[in-house]
Amino acid sequence: MFQLASKNLASSNILIVDDDEISSTLIAAILSEVCQCFTVSNALDALDFCENNLPDLMVVDVNMPGMDGLTLCKKIKQSKATEDVPVIFITSNTGENSQNDCWQAGCSDFVPKPVIAQTLIHRVKNQLLSKLRLDAIMKMTFHDSLTGLYNRNYITQEYPILARQLNRDQQPLGLIIFDVDNFKQYNDTYGHLQGDICLARVADAMRKFGRRARDALVRFGGEEFIALLPNTSLTDTTRLANQIIQAVFNLNIPHTTSSLGRVTLSAGAVSVQNFDQYVLDEVIEQADINLYDAKLEGKNQVVAS
């Protein structure tokens, strides 16, 4: 996905996982004064929930039929998509061994049964606030403040992990580098502030196209963007590049000093498979050569190889 949202405490989502309906209703009633609560009655439904709607925190009953809370917590911590979601256990076993099992499973905290409302509220609040602060730091570190897209730090960190994974799975990586055409003239004509607004609008149009969870759109430099597309062939990468170019063309942002009369993009696309041979700079360099050809051939188009 091409975007990450920011939240406050009241708009945070927590997922309560408990097979006892009375207990989960009670916990939801207590916590609804802090944040938004969702409930499921078993671990498999919790994992399903996380696939579609990542919670900011989970409150999990330890003893449940089928997959128990400890196993669920371990699975949450093993998955890259969910590893940062704090888990608070609700447990009636507070002996030393049971407490140790909770920590070993990867929980952030636990609350003994019977639940004391104020204790639960404060523990959830503490964990949620830490999570929101972490999210904010991650956002600043890995996102561009003008467009909200990922920044260069993100691609530098993500690429080696992605390359290793794709290499293992024998899957290709599509990469497109986009550049706004005649942007120096745009700034010269409309001013730098209007230039910034233009870049934000272009980014908004582009971000609608990242459909898969690991697709990433990066503001790589001033008026340059990179789309990182795991498991994507050259045909599909080229198709996406064309769709994004068309979407920006359709914005119809006036650019009187450009030959097309509006703001347009050029792009260079590649799809690479054998990652042993490539480091990120080399893949980008290849896409950049194609971008250069797209500019030479008249702009507002993609060249792919």
Ligand X SMILES: Nc1nc2c(ncn2[C@@H]2O[C@H](COP(=O)(O)OP(=O)(O)OP(=O)(O)O)[C@@H](O)[C@H]2O)c(=O)[nH]1
Interface residue with ligand X among 122, 133, 164, 184 (CB under 6 A) is 184
Query: For residues 248 and 261, is the Cβ–Cβ distance under 8 A?
Result: no
Q: Which stretch binds ligand X (CB under 6 A): 10-18, 69-77, 152-160, 174-182?
A: 174-182
User: Of 90, 199, 216, 226, which one interacts with ligand X (CB under 6 A)?
Assistant: 199
Q: Which residues contact 278 (CB under 8 A, 6 or more apart)?
A: 163, 272
- The single residue listed with the structure tokens 């893949």 is 283
Angle between helices 152-169 and 280-296 (to 10 degrees): 110
- List C-alpha distances in Å: 216 to 176, 201, 294: 11, 17, 22
Active site amino acids:
223
Minimal distance, residue 213 CB to ligand X, in Å: 28
Buried b (16+ CB within 10 A) or exposed e, 54-86: ebbbbbbbbbbeebbbbebbbbbeeeeebeebb
Interactions with ligand X, residue window 141-160 (CB under 6 A)? none
The window from 195-203, 206-214, 245-253, 278-286 that contacts ligand X (CB under 6 A) reads 195-203
Q: What length is written for the chain?
A: 305
Of the pair 101, 179, the CB lying nearest ligand X is at 179
**Contact characters 276-295, ligand X, x per CB under 6 A:** -------------------x
Task: Give the number of residues in contact with ligand X, rule: CB under 6 A.
Answer: 15
Q: Which is nearer to ligand X, 18 or 181 (CB)?
A: 181
Helix (H, G, I), strand (E, B) or coil at 135: helix
Q: Is 183 in the site for ligand X (CB under 6 A)?
A: yes
Instruction: Respond yes or no on whether the N-terminal peptide bond of residue 114 is cis (omega within 30° of 0).
Output: yes
Residue 187 binds to ligand X (criterion: CB under 6 A):
yes
Interface with ligand X by CB under 6 A: which range of 8-16, 115-123, 137-145, 185-193?
185-193
Nearer to ligand X, 49 or 183 (CB): 183
Other C-beta atoms lying within 10 Å of the C-beta of residue 119 = 12
Q: Does 168 bind ligand X (CB under 6 A)?
A: no
- The residues that touch ligand X, with contacts defined as CB under 6 A, are 179-185, 187, 192, 195-196, 199, 222-223, 295
